[in-house]
Amino acid sequence: MVTIPAHNVFRFDLSEILRYPIEIIVEGWSSARPLHWVSTSEGETVAEGNFLESPGLPLLDLRDDDSCYLRNNIPEPVLNICANATSLEFEVAQACAISGAAYELAMDTPLLFILLVSTCKQQGTGIDLFLALVGLKRRDILTYIGLPASNSLARIIKRLALRKMTPWELDDVIAVLCDDAAIKLLRHHPNIHLNHLTFIRKFPGTLWPGSLNLVEADSGLQSINWACRLIADVERLSADNQKTLRQINSRQGLQDLHDRLVERFNANNSEDSEVFRRAKARALEKEHGPYPAPPVPESTRIQALKSWSALLDEGRTMHHCVGAYDIMVAAEEVFIYKMEEPERLTIALENKSGNWVLGEIRGYCNANPESTALELIHRWLKASGSA
């Protein structure tokens, strides 16, 4: 174990913050009841925390009467793990402190420990059962969490590089790690990380081994969504999309494939003659029926596309693949608008349980919108009562 300062009782006077007399007393890391807390008001107990029950305050970042931070009483390796589970920061720190076995599990397999703490918190697990759980084999801990009891999965979880996780991501982690196809993808990849799980969650059953190279450990959500968007485009544009995609193992390769398919699609629909355009529009109407009515009213800056020919023209004009969205438009899953100013954009709204929300915004050649245009689009949707 790690040597830490011997400051084992912390008193936080929150009266000024909460505007009534209240004090929280917390026992330190090396006490008999690590991070156990009780709140008092004028000498009477108001509340007392059970095991894995946070007081709902950022105690690790508060200073007590002696200007000591609770986090300074906790080993740095534990704080590093806590930083990746911000919604469980207090609970993870407390769980690490209760036994040597708990600390060792946290240091050896941080993600498994975080998932165990999350599960135990949800189930109201007491200290005695938690102590028993951290002493089990990894396979048995996986079973308790609700994951397959697999040595292979235990190794994958140990190899997964962590980053800060939102509370709902823990549920996504469980869902992905229960998926046999996802495990097959992850098993042989040399450097797996949480962004791989986020990526897999967005495209279940679609990905291939090389696809994991499309996201990095430090990729933001926008970067992950970019990869998902291009994969979806390729699937729409290529009849043999799975065979085509399986050859891709880099972001540049995906971009190049996407651009070639978009160019080919738009070239096939680039005939200038009025006869051709009418014939193509008639073919789409015969296949799908009349073009759907706009679900959200237009504005002075934002106009709805109102015909199959307009949909094809939009993709051709903007050099992207919105012209291939005909099936989703016909099913009223997506509706397309365009903005002329302050910049030329294509706007896709998505139908989420009857509520039309912002899906994609694309400029020429899939360029991202500027902040001014984006703000105007959000105002338009808000004024219409959509999200």
C-alpha span between 105 and 102 (Å, rounded): 5
User: Measuring CA to CA, which residue among 367, 350, 103 is closest to residue 339?
Assistant: 367
Mean residue pLDDT of the chain comes to 88
Asked if 108 and 159 count as a contact pair (C-beta separation under 8 A), the reply is: no
Q: What does the pLDDT read at residue 3? A: 44
- Tell me, what amino acid is at 332? E
pLDDT in tens, 320-372: 888 888 889 999 999 999 999 999 999 999 998 889 999 889 898 888 889 99
Partners of residue 336 on adjacent β-strands: 348
Please give the average pLDDT of every successive group of 10 residues along the chain, which has 387 residues. Answer: 58 85 90 92 90 87 77 91 92 95 97 96 95 96 95 94 88 92 91 94 84 92 86 83 85 91 77 66 88 93 92 88 89 94 94 89 88 92 78
Cα 346 to Cα 344: distance, rounded to the nearest angstrom: 7
What pLDDT, on a 0 to 100 scale, did the predictor assign at position 98? 94
DSSP per-residue codes, 81-140 = HHTT-GGGHHHHHHHHHS-HHHHHHHHH-HHHHHHHHHHHHHHT--HHHHHHHHTS-HHH
pLDDT in tens, 24-60: 999 988 888 999 999 999 889 999 999 999 988 887 8
Of the candidates 15, 55, 18, 64, the one whose C-alpha atom is nearest the C-alpha of residue 35 is 55
d(C-alpha 302, C-alpha 202), whole Å: 29
